[in-house]
Amino acid sequence: MTIQEPAAALANFTHQIRVGWGDCDPARIAYTGRLPWFALEAIDAWWEHNLGGDGWFQMELDRGTGTPFVHMSIDFRAPITPRHRLICEVWPCKLGTSSIGFRVNARQDDKLCFEGKFICVFITPDTFTSKPAPHDIRDIVTPLLRPE
Amino acid sequence: MTIQEPAAALANFTHQIRVGWGDCDPARIAYTGRLPWFALEAIDAWWEHNLGGDGWFQMELDRGTGTPFVHMSIDFRAPITPRHRLICEVWPCKLGTSSIGFRVNARQDDKLCFEGKFICVFITPDTFTSKPAPHDIRDIVTPLLRPE
Amino acid sequence: MTIQEPAAALANFTHQIRVGWGDCDPARIAYTGRLPWFALEAIDAWWEHNLGGDGWFQMELDRGTGTPFVHMSIDFRAPITPRHRLICEVWPCKLGTSSIGFRVNARQDDKLCFEGKFICVFITPDTFTSKPAPHDIRDIVTPLLRPE
Amino acid sequence: MTIQEPAAALANFTHQIRVGWGDCDPARIAYTGRLPWFALEAIDAWWEHNLGGDGWFQMELDRGTGTPFVHMSIDFRAPITPRHRLICEVWPCKLGTSSIGFRVNARQDDKLCFEGKFICVFITPDTFTSKPAPHDIRDIVTPLLRPE
């Protein structure tokens, strides 16, 4: 028997960013310092999409779970300009007991512009101490996991 | 004879901004320093919408016309949070020989959050000297003018 | 009798900002959206200088007083580049019962680049409701007041 | 014979950043998206310090050499707040034919907050193509190289 991978599993969440004049530097491309910001916005939007509209703001204030970053690593492949929207593909690639890893691939006009890996830990905001990923979040993330 | 004002003339352009965690400060509202940035993005998007996809980037690099700001004035009416998208209504309120004025009204959940007035001048980028508004731009802007 | 204006009264607080590549846009000048951010940083630094090291962060979290903005108005006089430090002169120009007004004049190489006026209100952070300026703050601000 | 390591070799360049209210997020620590920006500012300041006042802006516009990033990797060790200045230690750790690697260690109150590694390539701005590091820059960087 051949297990058919469902089509939905192949399509990762994408978040679209409007790159504008103010994002660009004198080299007339998006400033490097803006690109991690874009990637983080895409991850925040990924949570919002998957947690019923709750992004980091609601996770921290309403759900009592923060997910600060402990690592980011980005390879910049091609310049980004305002001539196309930036399409950020986001997927979780690792779920540990109290950590989660994300991949973000950002493309313009179908060209890979940067790819990044990000690791966050689950914490209790009041004490800023790590904790296991909440069960409801674990249940939502697990089926969305994909290899790096 | 009664001239009917077309419905389209009443509806100003709106630009939607996703307010996220990273836009907020420790008071848990969008940081004041981000709000002029939002307003400018909305004006850039207004140009893009009305100039066939050309925002400030293409205006400067492809069309040879820059529009730097000489004035901004903003009244902050209500806090902005990530709980709603920020809807920025933009319209040109004045077109001088070599200047253009914009109004930006930003709302969340139908509530006015800030309202601003912005004045830009048309310039030749190479010399950074003012010039009359190009004819094609004047023709596009004139029918969109509305009172402050 | 001639009233001698004390020397100290003539010298307003200045805050120096390093304008860098990442602050500039494709026109090769500091992006307009960054300039209110600079002005706000200068006002935050003014508080820090005058409240014994307490800027907005400590005012809100340690002293229980927030000062959100209700108005800003900026005239942009000359382009700003990374070729000089930006010297932001800050002074309070009005102290109402529960509000405070600031002026910020920003210069590069002795040339006025922008001048702005800002109005904030004193609030209780927990309720986001206005309150009279605390006495200790009023005592510190009053002798520093200067006309617009 | 004991080779004495010169004292100068031990002291890397440091760049001080004022972390303010506007850099912080609702968790009341500096927003992760701001930290790469801080690191880049520190590298820009490193160039300025070592190239006679020329940062990225002057390198690109006056010297005809750009140094876009191809990689960044950051480990976040401790939260950053406005309660201390952020001291960013910067040093070059690798100089290839047409690339340069930097390390940035950022501390507050003597505590390591983040450490990052960054790789840039030397390019000709007009064509955005890589080129060997200019001789004068190579001569300046070489004696400053230190292991990762």
pLDDT tens digits along D7-44: 445 589 999 999 999 999 999 999 999 999 999 999 99
Per CB-CB distance under 8 Å, the chain A contacts of D70 are: 75-76
What b/e string do you get for D10-23 counting C-beta neighbours within 10 Å, with b at 16 or more? eebbbbebbbbbbb
Q: Is the CB of D26 less than 8 angstroms away from the CB of B31?
A: no
Q: Is the CB of B21 less than 8 angstroms away from the CB of A81?
A: no
Per CB-CB distance under 8 Å, the chain B contacts of C125 are: 27
Least Cα separation, residue A21 to chain B (angstroms): 5
Q: Pull the structure tokens for residue C35.
A: 């300039």
Per CB-CB distance under 8 Å, the chain C contacts of B72 are: 32, 36, 72-74, 76
- What local confidence, expressed as pLDDT, does residue B11 receive? 81
Residue A101 has pLDDT above 50, yes or no: yes
Residue partners of D127: CB distance under 8 A and separation at least 6: none
Per CB-CB distance under 8 Å, the chain A contacts of B57 are: 20-21, 24, 28, 81-83
CA distance linking residue D51 with residue D54, whole number of Å? 5
- For C92, other C-beta atoms within 10 Å of its C-beta total 23
- What local confidence, expressed as pLDDT, does residue C10 receive? 56
Q: Is the CB of A57 less than 8 angstroms away from the CB of D26?
A: yes
- What local confidence, expressed as pLDDT, does residue B41 receive? 98
Q: Which residue of C lies nearest to D29 if distances are taken between CA atoms?
A: C57
Longest distance between any two alpha carbons in chain B, whole Å: 58
- What local confidence, expressed as pLDDT, does residue C125 receive? 97
Selecting from C21, C56, C60 the residue whose C-beta is nearest the C-beta of D57 gives C21
Alpha helix positions (H), C71-117: none
Written as one string, the DSSP assignment of chain A is -PPPPPHHHH--EEEEE---GGGB-TTSSB-GGGHHHHHHHHHHHHHHHHTTT--HHHHHHTS--B--EEEEEEEE-S---TTS-EEEEEEEEEE-SSEEEEEEEEEETTEEEEEEEEEEE-EETTTTEE-PPPHHHHHHHGGG----
Q: Pull the structure tokens for residue C12.
A: 């307003």
Q: pLDDT-based confidence at B1, cuts 50/70/90?
A: very low
- What local confidence, expressed as pLDDT, does residue B10 receive? 58
- What local confidence, expressed as pLDDT, does residue D10 receive? 56
- What local confidence, expressed as pLDDT, does residue B18 receive? 98
Closest CA to B120 of B54, B65, B48, B57: B65
- What local confidence, expressed as pLDDT, does residue C11 receive? 81
Least Cα separation, residue D20 to chain A (angstroms): 18
Q: Is the CB of C28 less than 8 angstroms away from the CB of D61?
A: yes
Per CB-CB distance under 8 Å, the chain C contacts of D45 are: 18, 20
pLDDT tens per residue across span D39-71: 999 999 999 999 999 999 999 999 999 999 999
Domain residue extents for chain C:
7-144
Chain B residues whose C-beta sits inside 8 Å of any chain D C-beta? 21-22, 24-26, 28, 31-33
Residue B4 has pLDDT above 70, yes or no: no
Closest CA to B147 of B96, B112, B101: B101
Residue A21 has pLDDT above 80, yes or no: yes
Strand pairing class (D69-76; A69-76): antiparallel
Q: pLDDT-based confidence at D2, cuts 50/70/90?
A: very low
Which residue has tokens 């200019």?
D134
Q: Which secondary structure element, helix H or strand E, spans residue B59, and what is its range?
A: helix B56-61
Q: Is B39 helix (H, G, I), strand (E, B) or coil?
A: helix
Least Cα separation, residue B7 to chain C (angstroms): 33
Per CB-CB distance under 8 Å, the chain D contacts of B33 are: 22
Domain boundaries C7-144, CATH class: alpha beta
pLDDT tens per residue across span B109-133: 999 999 999 999 999 999 999 999 9
Query: In chain C, which residues have pLDDT < 50?
Result: 1-5, 7-8
Instruction: Give the ipTM of the model, two decimals please.
Output: 0.93
Q: Is the CB of D74 less than 8 angstroms away from the CB of A70?
A: no
- What local confidence, expressed as pLDDT, does residue A2 receive? 47
Q: Is the CB of B21 less than 8 angstroms away from the CB of A28?
A: no
Q: Is the CB of C28 less than 8 angstroms away from the CB of D55?
A: no
Q: Is the CB of D74 less than 8 angstroms away from the CB of A75?
A: no
Q: Which three-class secondary structure string do you get for chain B? A: CCCCCCHHHHCCEEEEECCCHHHECCCCCECHHHHHHHHHHHHHHHHHHHCCCCCHHHHHHCCCCECCEEEEEEEECCCCCCCCCEEEEEEEEEECCCEEEEEEEEEECCEEEEEEEEEEECEECCCCEECCCCHHHHHHHHHHCCCC
Residue A130 has pLDDT above 50, yes or no: yes
- What local confidence, expressed as pLDDT, does residue A13 receive? 98
* CA distances for D134 relative to B54, C1, D49, D65, D130, angstroms: 37, 67, 17, 8, 11
Residue partners of B12: CB distance under 8 A and separation at least 6: B89, B90, B91, B146
Selecting from A24, A37, A41 the residue whose C-beta is nearest the C-beta of B57 gives A24
Residue partners of A66: CB distance under 8 A and separation at least 6: A56, A59, A60, A122, A123, A124, A125, A128, D27
Q: Pull the structure tokens for residue B95.
A: 């077109």
Comparing A76-85, A117-126, C6-15, C98-107, the range with the smallest average pLDDT is C6-15
In this prediction, what percent of chain B has a pLDDT beyond 90?
92
State phi, psi for C8 to the nearest 5 degrees: -60, -35
Q: Which chains touch C (3 or more CB pairs under 8 A)?
A: A, B, D
Q: Pull the structure tokens for residue A138.
A: 């674990």
Q: pLDDT-based confidence at B74, cuts 50/70/90?
A: very high
Q: Is the CB of D18 less than 8 angstroms away from the CB of C58?
A: no
Per CB-CB distance under 8 Å, the chain C contacts of D56 are: 20-21
